[in-house]
Amino acid sequence: MRKPRVKKELLPVYLNTPEMAALIGRHADWMTARMGGYFKEGVHYFRKSGERDPFWKVEAVMEWVEDNSDSKNVDSIISKMVS
């Protein structure tokens, strides 16, 4: 069963790792393992001096979730091959 959509304007600006993972339906370990890869520091998450857990920017992570640029890239490659 799918989770109901939440209006973006009702979401907080930042969440901690377990909260962000729950929001997008993943585990906190999954999020942490992709820091510096899928998720970029200064874009998707921010670290404060002395804080162990980063602050995740909800808007940036939601954009990452909803981004379908990979499928756009595939379509572009296929169209170039066919023409």
pLDDT at 11: 81
Backbone φ and ψ of 16, nearest 5°: -85, 175
Q: Which two tokens stand for residue 69?
A: 């640029």
Mean pLDDT for 28-55 is 94
Provide the mean pLDDT of the chain. 84
Residue 81 pLDDT exceeds 90: no
For range 19-29, the mean pLDDT: 96
Topology of domain 12-82, per CATH? Multidrug-efflux Transporter Regulator; Chain: A; Domain 2 (1.10.1660)
**Residue boundaries of the structural domains of the chain:** 12-82
Q: Which DSSP state fits 46?
A: E
**Phi/psi of residue 24, nearest 5 degrees:** -100, 10
Q: Against a cut of 0.85, is the pTM above it?
A: no
Confidence of residue 10 (pLDDT cuts 50, 70, 90): confident
Q: How far is CA 21 from the centre of its chain?
A: 9
